[in-house]
Amino acid sequence: MIVSAHLLPHSPLLLPSIGKERTESLKNTVQAISIAADEIRKAKPDTIIVISSHGTVYKDAFSANIHDIYQAHFEEFGDFATSFTAKPDLETADRLSRHLNLAGISYKQSSDETLDYGTAVSLSFLTPLFAKTRLISLSPSQLDAKSHFDVGMHISEILLASKKRFSIICSGDLSQRLTTQSPAGYSADGAEFESKLKESIVSHNVMGLLKLAPELVNNAGECSYRPLLMMLGIIEAFPYQTKLLSYEAPFGVGELVASFELGHK
């Protein structure tokens, strides 16, 4: 059973221990993530599935990071104090692997104790859950857009057949090229990509997302497009209402928090 779905940004600056005074410039985003985290807690998931493009990404295969216990830390960003652990949902991970391979989908498993920072930042707002809640860490591929939506629908088949409760998180920032101060430099395609993405998810126009020109997506310097398509594929079986909880870009990177309120047919 799928009980919640959210798009969460993963800038390390969202964590006060890293962002320090800069975190104040993202206070609306932090508040919105807190709302989303409360929604996830109330959904009472047995397993949280995080889709992040900062794990192991293969050119022609989707993947999962499976380890007996995960460690999340932020030493690469200068924070040597913050950390947490999580345990995997090995049963569901195995069922996903079997199902996707039988469906002819190229799917691999890596094994890294350390969670990628995109997953770790998004989950840092949910650490109290991991006393009981399990984790599945997924990565997109470099395949085309439709392949990501399609694999999401295949993943949904396994989740809907399970008695477990699953929360889905797409972890990703929007364009990193919005201004001349952006980390990846400026591109006019950044704002256009963001406008089309937000319009498409609010209007449930998946086809519009699938038809975005690859050049536009690439020039935007984003890391959320393919993970989002996977998540939308997972929730395709549900009627849902999209709520944009916040959007900010004080440092030239688009930070969007969105909740996808799921109904049931």
Side-chain half-sphere CA neighbours of 194 within 13 A: 24
Whether the full predicted model's pTM is greater than 0.85, yes or no, is: yes
3-state helix, strand, coil in the chain (%, to 5): 40, 25, 35
Q: Write out pLDDT tens, residues 92-114.
A: 999 999 999 999 999 999 999 99
* CA nearest neighbour of 259 among 240, 239, 242, 237: 242
Residue 264 has a pLDDT of 64
By the 8 A CB rule, do 1 and 160 touch? yes
Cα separation, 254 vs 99, in Å, equals: 35
Cα separation, 119 vs 139, in Å, equals: 10
For the chain, list the domains and their CATH numbers. 2-262 (3.40.830.10)
Burial of 204-216, coded b for 16+ CB within 10 Å and e otherwise, reads: eebeebeebeeeb
* CA nearest neighbour of 14 among 222, 246, 187: 246
In the predicted model, what is the mean pLDDT of residues 237-258? Answer: 97
Q: Write out pLDDT tens, residues 213-225.
A: 999 999 999 999 9
Cα separation, 50 vs 137, in Å, equals: 5
Q: How confident is the model at residue 263 (pLDDT cuts 50, 70, 90)?
A: confident
